[in-house]
């Protein structure tokens, strides 16, 4: 397999061209959570798996759901079906997905809990994820050669927030409080996650991922000083670590709700593409980010639920703002489970015309 744009096969893939700084038009597209609960075929596989972690760690099933939206819509990118909390799970932190509650972890609140994390076990415990990458890449090469495979991980701040809190939260007060009250301990956790996330993404690349994405879903709840320390600095280290071994692999960063810090984030982390959240004005982002850096996003998932004229109007505004620069059409957050599949088909038809 050729690495990203390092070979002829990679150069033909529209998504990799855009992620490598080329203004491709019409733009390539994929959607965050495109393999998920809004698809009846996904729900069938999930029911057979019997649990979310079981689905993520059964390679044949995870590869199947990764490919489902490619079959249905012909997206330009297939994103690995997994979860950002696989890394703490692989480090040994207890994790379960309670029906109707989301993820629940054993809260990590002291030095002993941080010291108990086991980075040496990560590759063995996460081996099913890497096998999913291999199976998916092989299937894409055989049946959808123009589609690029995207691996991913959560960024250290967001993953640490879940690890400390023990569950999802509106404000992640325990994690933010630890970062202020005991920055030495919190920094130790972040460093563990930087190393583990680097290893996790490198293993995905070795298995066949052609680009990787770092999701920092809760970046926007931090003030600028904390954003720089816990979002920008760890992400920059991960990007440098990846580039040392795989200099041509595209890296996408998603600092959700970064607002005016999006430009600084892009410069200091070194990501080649930055994903815009729903609240970001694409015209502001185009002015804040260098023209050779790709932008990705940022349709409101609720407009996709609405469909029709409203969907087309929102999509056309984004396309108009992004024309002439490296751009990947996507959502500004993950697709909602109530999204009608036919609305996704409507969006794909529109983007394929360039607006």
Is the Cα dihedral 328, 331, 332, 334 positive or negative?
negative
pLDDT digits (tens, 9 = 90+) for 53-62: 999 999 999 9
All residue ranges of the chain with pLDDT < 70 are: 1-11
The residue annotated as part of the active site, out of 17, 33, 256, 325, is: 33
Point out which residues pair with 298 in neighbouring strands: 330
Owner of token pair 């990590």: 108
Q: How far from 165 is each of 109, 147, 274, 348, 349, CA to CA, in Å?
A: 8, 37, 27, 38, 41
Give the predicted TM-score (pTM) of the model. Answer: 0.95
pLDDT digits (tens, 9 = 90+) for 286-345: 999 999 999 999 999 999 999 999 999 999 999 999 999 999 999 999 999 999 999 999
pLDDT mean across residues, the chain: 95
Q: How far from 40 is each of 37, 242, 337, 345, CA to CA, in Å?
A: 7, 36, 10, 15
Per the annotation, the verdict on 195 as an active-site residue is: no
Instruction: Spell out a b/e string for 221-237, using b for 16 or more CB atoms within 10 Å of the CB, else e.
Output: bbeeebbebbbbbbbbb
Considering the domain delimited by 8-352, tell me its CATH architecture: Alpha-Beta Barrel (3.20)
The confidence score (pLDDT) of residue 9 equals 43
Structure tokens at 287: 């002015």
Per the annotation, the verdict on 123 as an active-site residue is: no
Per the annotation, the verdict on 37 as an active-site residue is: yes
Per the annotation, the verdict on 268 as an active-site residue is: no
Point out which residues pair with 102 in neighbouring strands: 98
d(CA 246, CA 249): 6
3-class secondary-structure state, position 34: coil
Structure tokens at 167: 């569950």
The residue annotated as part of the active site, out of 17, 46, 137, 256, is: 46
Per the annotation, the verdict on 162 as an active-site residue is: yes
Instruction: Spell out a b/e string for 273-312, using b for 16 or more CB atoms within 10 Å of the CB, else e.
Output: bbbbbbebebeebbebbeeebbbbbbbbbbbbbebeeebb
**214, 159 in Cβ contact below 8 A?**
no
Chain centroid to CA 108: how far?
24
The confidence score (pLDDT) of residue 347 equals 98
The residue annotated as part of the active site, out of 38, 42, 73, 162, is: 162
The residue annotated as part of the active site, out of 76, 83, 216, 277, is: 83
Residue 298, preceding peptide bond in cis (omega within 30° of 0):
yes
């Amino acid at each position: 397999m050729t690495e990203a744009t390092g070979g002829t096969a990679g150069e033909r893939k529209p998504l990799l061209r855009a992620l490598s700084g080329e203004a491709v038009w019409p733009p390539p597209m994929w959607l965050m959570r495109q393999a998920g609960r809004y698809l009846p075929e996904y729900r069938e596989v999930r029911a057979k798996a019997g649990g979310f972690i079981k689905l993520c760690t059964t390679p044949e099933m995870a590869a199947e759901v990764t490919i489902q939206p490619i079959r249905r819509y012909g997206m330009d990118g297939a994103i690995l079906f997994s979860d950002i909390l696989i890394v703490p799970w692989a480090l040994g932190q207890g994790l379960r997905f309670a029906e109707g509650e989301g993820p629940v972890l054993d809260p990590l609140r002291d030095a002993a809990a941080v010291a108990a994390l086991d980075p040496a076990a990560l590759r063995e415990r996460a081996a099913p994820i890497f096998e999913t990458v291999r199976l998916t890449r092989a299937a894409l090469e055989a049946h959808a050669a123009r589609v690029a495979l995207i691996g991913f991980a959560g960024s250290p701040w967001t993953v640490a927030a879940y690890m400390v809190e023990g569950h999802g939260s509106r404000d992640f007060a325990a994690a933010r409080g630890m970062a202020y009250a005991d920055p030495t301990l919190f920094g130790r956790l972040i460093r563990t996650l930087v190393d583990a996330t680097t290893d996790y993404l490198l293993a995905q690349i070795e298995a066949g991922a052609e680009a990787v994405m770092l999701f920092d879903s809760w970046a926007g709840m931090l003030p600028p000083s904390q954003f720089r320390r816990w979002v920008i600095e760890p992400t920059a280290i991960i990007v440098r670590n990846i580039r040392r071994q795989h200099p041509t692999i595209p890296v996408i960063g998603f600092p959700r709700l970064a607002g005016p810090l999006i430009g600084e984030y892009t410069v200091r982390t070194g990501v080649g593409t930055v994903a815009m959240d729903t609240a970001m004005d694409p015209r502001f982002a185009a002015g804040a980010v260098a023209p050779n850096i790709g932008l990705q996003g940022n349709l409101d998932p609720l407009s996709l639920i609405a469909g029709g004229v409203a969907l087309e109007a929102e999509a056309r505004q984004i396309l108009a703002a992004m024309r002439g620069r490296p751009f990947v059409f996507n959502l500004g957050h993950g697709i909602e489970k109530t999204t009608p599949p036919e609305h996704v088909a409507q969006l794909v038809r529109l983007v394929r015309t360039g607006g």
